[in-house]
């Protein structure tokens, strides 16, 4: 389906704010480029304040160029529809990866979880420290660091998406019911309270994700949105080893520090969390690379590799000369005392 200078191929996802398409743009001599097009839904586009905020935030986000942040390449309007185009990542989000393991009664390999979150921290740290043309800090905060917004490609790349538009999405959520449903469990306590946010809010969200990856259990989830928000507000946390007795003491310390209720007690920036995770990996002599992550993703999602344009390597195959894909671990029974 034609859409401005793009041709929409498949709808990848639809949410309360936008629908996302796999698309392509064409040039001379058969040139083609795959992109992801996020088109704002008509009901949201009627909100002029949201559109202004969306455009302002996208103008900032397009300045972010980092290997762990999905690059925004275009911002435009076709008819009455506003959209952004970003690099297309052939892979799955971290939510789908977690859910695939959970369905099999497994948790993701611990080195993989640490490696993935280290890459997320690298992308966040870059954005948190980004300055404008005059050298003034932009003071960017993602505000929605969640498994749905972390993509893992079948080449082993880790990419944060939606950097710069979460603030606009939060504005839209005030008038559009359900947009943030499912995201409450990844907010920081100060975010739930409506307080000013800084980079430490994103660090807290990283702590939530890491907790869930290594335990196989959701951290902040209640019977209703209100009860979930209360759990976040009060930072009701059971130690990770409650659910997985195989978690080393040092990793538990790292996770709980990232999840400190008072932001002064947390890691003060994403790179400090990254460095502690890296030191932990060295301590346990566990080395994990992008090649290992690629092998794991190919093994877990062979059906996606059959799509046109997928990597040529057979499903589940590691790169030549590499070790076999890391295996997920069966969940041990939780502690009873």
Q: Name the residues annotated as catalytic.
A: 144
Element (H, E) at 207: helix 199-215
Q: How far apart are CA 268 and CA 303, in angstroms?
A: 41
Cβ–Cβ < 8 Å for 187, 232:
yes
Q: What is the DSSP letter of 313?
A: S
Residue tagged 């790349």 (tokens):
157
∠ CA 263-268-273, nearest 5°, is 115
Q: How far apart are CA 189 and CA 234, in angstroms?
A: 7
Exposed, middle or buried, 327 (CB in 10 Å: 0-12/13-18/19+)? Answer: exposed
Exposed, middle or buried, 304 (CB in 10 Å: 0-12/13-18/19+)? Answer: middle
Exposed, middle or buried, 160 (CB in 10 Å: 0-12/13-18/19+)? Answer: buried
Cβ–Cβ < 8 Å for 213, 250:
no
């Amino acid at each position: 389906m034609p859409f401005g200078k793009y041709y929409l191929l498949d709808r990848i996802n639809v949410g309360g704010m936008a629908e996302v398409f796999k698309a392509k743009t064409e040039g001379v001599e058969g040139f083609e480029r795959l992109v992801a097009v996020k088109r704002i839904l008509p009901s949201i586009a009627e909100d002029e304040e949201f559109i202004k905020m969306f455009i302002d935030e996208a103008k900032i986000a397009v300045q972010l160029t980092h290997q762990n942040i999905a690059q925004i390449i275009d911002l435009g309007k076709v008819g009455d529809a506003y959209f952004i185009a970003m690099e297309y990542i052939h892979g799955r989000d971290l939510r789908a990866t977690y859910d695939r393991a959970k369905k099999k009664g497994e948790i993701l390999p611990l080195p993989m979880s640490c490696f993935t979150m280290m890459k997320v921290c690298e992308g966040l740290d870059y954005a948190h420290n980004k300055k404008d043309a005059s050298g003034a800090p932009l003071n960017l905060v993602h505000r929605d660091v969640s498994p749905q917004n972390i993509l893992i490609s079948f080449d082993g790349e880790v990419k944060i998406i939606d950097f710069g538009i979460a603030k606009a999405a939060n504005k839209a959520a005030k008038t559009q019911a359900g947009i943030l449903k499912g995201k409450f469990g990844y907010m920081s306590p100060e975010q739930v309270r409506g307080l000013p946010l800084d980079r430490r809010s994103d660090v807290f969200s990283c702590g939530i994700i890491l907790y869930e990856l290594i335990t196989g259990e959701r951290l902040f989830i209640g019977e209703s949105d209100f009860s979930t928000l209360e759990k976040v507000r009060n930072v009701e946390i059971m130690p990770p080893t409650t659910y997985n007795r195989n978690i080393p003491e040092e990793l538990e310390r790292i996770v709980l520090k990232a999840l400190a209720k008072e932001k002064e007690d947390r890691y003060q920036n994403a790179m400090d969390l990254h460095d502690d995770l890296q030191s932990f990996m060295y301590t346990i002599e566990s080395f994990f690379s992008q090649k290992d992550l690629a092998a794991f993703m190919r093994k877990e999602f062979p059906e996606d590799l059959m799509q046109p344009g997928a990597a040529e390597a057979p499903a589940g195959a590691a790169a030549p000369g590499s070790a076999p894909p890391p295996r997920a671990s069966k969940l041990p029974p939780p502690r009873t005392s």
